[in-house]
Structure 1
Amino acid sequence: MAAVIQTSIRIGAAPEIVWNILTDFGEMPNWNPFVQAIEGQAEVGRKIKVKLPGMTFKPVVKAFDKNRRFRWLGHFFVPGIFDGEHYFELEDNGDGTTTFHHGEQFNGWLVPLFKGNMLEKTRQGFEAMNRALKEKAEL
C-alpha cells in the first residue's frame, strides 16, 4: 500500500540561495516549523538524524545533488512496515527564481492505518516549511 504527498512553491530566489538555506542544518531550527533539526553528514548512503514535531528518526540519504535535490528514506522499526521516502527538489526556472518541490512517498503494510488525518497534517507541515523557506530566501 502506498500514499503520496506532493507540494510545490515558487520562490523568488536562485536555486543556489534556496539550497544554501535548505542545507544549512545549524540554522534550520531558527526558520523551519516542520523539520526542526537535521544532524549528521548528508552524503549518499549515510544515516542522518531528523527531528520533526513529535518524532525523531534516522533515515539514510538517497540523493544529495547540490542545488538540485536531497532525498532520504526512513523506516518505522524495520523496512516494509512503514517506510517514507522524503524529497526536496529545486527546479531552476531560468529567470532567477526556483520552484521548490517537497514531498514524500509512504509504503508498507501500516500505511492504510495512517491515511487521512496523518497525511493531511503532514501535508500542512510541508506547506508551512515551504512558505518559511520562501520567506527566508526572498529576504
Structure 2
Amino acid sequence: MPSLYSEITIDAPRFAVWDALVRKEEWHRWNTFLYDCDPNRPIRQGGEIFLALRRIEGEDETEFQPRVLMVQPNRCLRWMAKVPGFRSEHVFELEDIGPNRTKYIHQERLSGLLSQVFLPFIRRDEKEGIRRMSWQIKRYVEHYYRRQW
C-alpha cells in the first residue's frame, strides 16, 4: 500500500498540538494544505467532515468528505475518503518526546485498484502538501500556543 509521510518535532506539549489539529475552524489561520468547508461539522469518530485540500499553494482545491475513523484525544486522528476503486486514509499521530516536545506524524495511505493510477500524478504535490502542513502546524503551535502553557 503506497503511503506518504511527514514527521516533525514541535516544541510544545502534545495537548497544544492536538488542539490546533482538531480545531478545524481555525485551520485558515495556519494551514494552506487542508481547509474546513463546514465548521458546523465537528470532528467525531464515525462522523463525516467536509474538507478541501490544496496540494500546491495558489492552485484549485479538491473537496472531499472523509469519514472519521478514530479520535484518540492527544494521540491519534484518522479519517478516510473513498471513491470507487480508490481510498485515501490520513493518519495524524502525536507522541511525547520530552517535556513540552511532541513528535507530529502525518501520513496518507493510498489503497484500491486506482491508487497505482493516481499515485504518479499526485505523489510529489501531495507529499509537499503534507510536509507543508507539518511545518505550518509547528510554526503556529510554537508561536501562538506558547503563551497559553
How many residue pairs get matched? 135
Gaps of 5+ in 2: 55-60, 144-149
Counterpart among 103, 112, 133 of residue 116 in structure 2: 112
Equivalents in 1 of 2:106, 2:135: separation in Å? Answer: 11
The answer for the alignment partner of 1:35 in structure 2 is: 34
Task: Give the corresponding residue for 1:3.
Answer: 2
Instruction: Please say if residues 25 and 38 of structure 1, whose CA atoms lie closer than 8 Å, have aligned partners that are also in contact.
Output: no
In the alignment, the residues of structure 2 paired with residue 73 and residue 41 of structure 1 have an alpha-carbon distance, to the nearest angstrom, of 15
Instruction: Map Cα deviations across residues 23-54 of structure 1 (whole Å, 9 max, x no partner).
Output: 11111012101012253121111111111122
Q: Considering only aligned residues, what root-mean-square deviation do their CA atoms show, in Å?
A: 1.2
2:14 is matched with which residue?
A: 15
2: CA distance, partners of 1:84 / 1:26: 22
Change (3 A) 1:35 1:25: same
Tell me the TM-score normalized by structure 1. Answer: 0.91
Number of the residue aligned with 2:90: 86
**Structure 1 regions of 5+ residues with no counterpart?**
none
Segments of 4+ moved more than 2 angstroms: none
